[in-house]
Amino acid sequence: MRHLERPEPKTAILLIQLGTPDAPDSPSLRRYLRQFLSDKRVVDLPRALWWPILQIILFFRPKSSAAKYREVWNDKTGSPLLHFTRQQAERLGERFSANPVRFCMTYGNPSVDSVTRELIGQGFEQLLVMPMYPQYSATTTAAATDALFRTLLDSELRAIPAIRVVPPHPTHPAYIRAILTRIGEEMGKIDWKPDHIVISFHGIPKRYCKLGDLYARDVKQTTSALVKAAGWPREYWSQTFQSIFGREVWLKPYTNEHLEELAKKGKTKVLVVAPGFTSDCLETIDEIGREFREEFEHAGGEKLHLVPCLNDHPAWIDAMEVILRQEGNGWLQDPGNCRK
């Protein structure tokens, strides 16, 4: 009796980004914020305490948030985060001809659940999953894998694929090289020399790190690798945290406060880079590019230039390809020809 050879399992690549509202209006923001702020990975307060606070937020905040989103929204492509995540998947799809590349959102659409179920329905037995966060945090990386495994825990799913989750890569040479390429290009576009460079990361409550979150460690590693590769003297740069929410103490220093201090000290020409964000979004374009710039100028600053995120820059697509091929060794049919 002849033994039939098992066919090669089909592998798909899945990018998981944080999320975005469906539209820049109050109802869409309310749905998005409800889902986002109800996740205990994001806000770990007891439900009895947090629930009434959340209702107040959902009553007042959607209108103001929608107004901000309208400033960065494109009628054809949607939010910047959605646009650039889609572009990343498409550019990677050109590199992985034998393995489809899909993207999904932890919060909002396309959801992790819908895309994962679609891939399973198409017969993919292996999923190479890349959370789009170079630095680990339970609030982002773990929230993304939570969403994935919630789908896989559905007892009605009969065919559960094998999963490989790409680990955080805070010091990966290809990632650091992509950031430096982005910075170098932007430095060449401005006709002035920065007095100082601010490296801004999204913040999280300091308490989370005391409880075991590795985010502060990973941020420090990225910063160290970046400034070492760039050759910047210590007095030329500083590393800060942005997007603070609520009254709890978050990781410091805060980006907006630090920019004001720089302006008052005579550092009036500043370059800001946000290496923790792999796609431009409200927190980069509006928060740094508008709010923080206005505060900086009000404090005496003259020029603030925001380096765009990695987005769909070829250097970042190169880096993603390198990382995915390393983590997908043996799963990806096309060996490719990429840089290390």
> What string of DSSP letters covers 97-117?
TTS-EEEEEEEESSBHHHHHH
Neighbours of 155 (CB within 10 A): 5
| Distance of alpha carbon 126 from alpha carbon 115, whole angstroms | 14
Residues 179 and 270 in one domain: yes
Q: Decide if 35 contacts 139 (C-beta within 8 A).
A: no
Q: What is the pLDDT of residue 8?
A: 82
Q: Answer whether residue 66 is part of any domain.
A: yes
Q: Answer whether residue 332 is part of any domain.
A: no
Q: Answer whether residue 257 is part of any domain.
A: yes
Residues 142 and 229 in one domain: no
For the stretch 18-47, pLDDT in tens is: 999 999 999 999 999 999 999 999 999 999
For the stretch 185-214, pLDDT in tens is: 999 999 999 999 999 999 999 999 999 999
Residues 180 and 245 in one domain: yes
Tell me the CATH number at 117.
3.40.50.1400
Residues 26 and 155 in one domain: yes
Residues 184 and 99 in one domain: no
Q: Answer whether residue 255 is part of any domain.
A: yes
| Distance of alpha carbon 65 from alpha carbon 33, whole angstroms | 10
Q: Which residues, in sequence order, are CB contacts of 100 under 8 Å at separation 6+?
A: 12, 13, 93, 119
| Distance of alpha carbon 91 from alpha carbon 101, whole angstroms | 9
Longest dimension (CA), the chain: 84
Residues 30 and 58 in one domain: yes
* Structural domain for 45, as ranges: 11-167+314-327
| Distance of alpha carbon 82 from alpha carbon 21, whole angstroms | 9
Residues 285 and 183 in one domain: yes
Q: For every one of its 340 residues, what pLDDT tens digit does the chain have, with 9 covering 90 and above? A: 455 566 788 999 999 999 999 999 999 999 999 999 999 999 999 999 999 999 999 999 999 999 999 999 999 999 999 999 999 999 999 999 999 999 999 999 999 999 999 999 999 999 999 999 999 999 999 999 999 999 999 999 999 999 999 999 999 999 999 999 999 999 999 999 999 999 999 999 999 999 999 999 999 999 999 999 999 999 999 999 999 998 899 999 999 999 999 999 999 999 999 999 999 999 999 999 999 999 999 999 999 999 999 999 999 999 999 999 999 999 997 655 555 5
Q: Answer whether residue 287 is part of any domain.
A: yes
pTM: 0.94
Residues 195 and 67 in one domain: no
Residues 37 and 150 in one domain: yes
Q: What is the pLDDT of residue 229?
A: 98
CA-closest candidate to residue 306, choices 257, 264, 233, 255: 255
Q: Answer whether residue 339 is part of any domain.
A: no
Residues 39 and 144 in one domain: yes
Q: Answer whether residue 96 is part of any domain.
A: yes
Residues 191 and 278 in one domain: yes
Residues 149 and 252 in one domain: no
Q: Distances in Å between the alpha carbon of 327 and those of 101, 164, 323? A: 15, 8, 6
> What is the CA angle 81-133-183, rounded to 5?
75
Q: Answer whether residue 4 is part of any domain.
A: no
**Considering its fold, how many domains does the chain have in total?**
2
Q: Decide if 102 contacts 115 (C-beta within 8 A).
A: yes
